[in-house]
Amino acid sequence: MLYLGVLASGRGSNFQAIVDAIGAGSLAAAVKLLIVDVPGAFAVERARKHSIEFLYLDPKESPSKDAYFARIAEEFAGRGVELVILAGFMRIVRKPLIDAFPNRIMNIHPALLPSFPGLHGQKQAAEYGVRISGCTVHFVDEGMDTGPVIIQAAVPVSPDDTDDTLSARILKQEHRIFPEAIRLYAEGRLKVEGRVVRIAGYEAGEDAVLINPPLP
């Protein structure tokens, strides 16, 4: 059983997808603590509903950004968290948390990295006029959306897409690949070599076009 700590800033639909995968028995994990950095983040309602412990930590109450992330690391470590999940967490993670959980922090980003990092990946893609976009689960390093890629899923983009229509299409795939990446981690199948992640038992093939690696 893998112990998860989740960070979220808003709606929390990815958090919900992870909780649902655990509930369905497809992910052998437990969320030990949800931390939000925004008061009233809807993710908290989801935690409450599932009797998951949660905390609101106000970044303004910490003397520095590093101190804020040191506090987060302390809260997670104190509950035996093994893997930290950024589920719509809208801050750049600082060194104290990364050092406490090296290659043990995962983020979901709503674009095919390294394209369109930062905020509003879906809007950036729609406005750029790309034909394909998607989402990426990656390990977190000190850069902005730069860590080793674990799984990506692609979706088609139409010139008629708006930020909203493209976001909805991408979100469906986010909800598939995020629990899957955590499952691969829980099964001990992810190995980071430099910036490349190897997945034990997976070899790239022709069927890996839309989701890479293909889901079982």
Binding site for ligand GAR (CB under 6 A): 8, 10-14, 87-88, 108-110, 121, 171, 174
Strand partners, 84: 5, 105
Q: Which is nearer to ligand GAR, 13 or 187 (CB)?
A: 13
Helix (H) or strand (E) segment spanning residue 23: helix 13-23
Which of 109, 120, 138, 175 is catalytic? The answer is: 109
Q: Which is nearer to ligand GAR, 103 or 146 (CB)?
A: 146
Contact 138, 109 (CB under 8 A): yes
User: Could you tell me the smallest distance in angstroms from the CB atom of residue 125 to ligand GAR?
Assistant: 12
- Kindly state the tokens that stand for 215: 């889901």
Q: Which residue is nearest to ligand GAR (CB)?
A: 88
DSSP designation for 2: E
Contact 19, 51 (CB under 8 A): no
Q: Which is nearer to ligand GAR, 9 or 187 (CB)?
A: 9
User: Could you tell me the smallest distance in angstroms from the CB atom of residue 89 to ligand GAR?
Assistant: 7
User: Could you tell me the smallest distance in angstroms from the CB atom of residue 116 to ligand GAR?
Assistant: 10
User: Could you tell me the smallest distance in angstroms from the CB atom of residue 17 to ligand GAR?
Assistant: 8
Query: For residues 161 and 129, what is the distance between their CA atoms, to the nearest angstrom?
Result: 9
Q: Which is nearer to ligand GAR, 171 or 186 (CB)?
A: 171
What three-state secondary structure class fits 34? strand
Question: Following DSSP, what letter does each residue of 115-165 receive, concatenated?
Answer: SS-SS-HHHHHHHHT-SEEEEEEEE--SSSS-SPEEEEEEEE--TT--HHH
Specify whether 120 is catalytic: no
Residue with tokens 């950024």: 86
Strand partners, 34: 6, 54
User: Could you tell me the smallest distance in angstroms from the CB atom of residue 136 to ligand GAR?
Assistant: 9
Q: C-alpha angle with apex 211: 168 to 182, nearest 5 degrees?
A: 85
Active site residues: 109
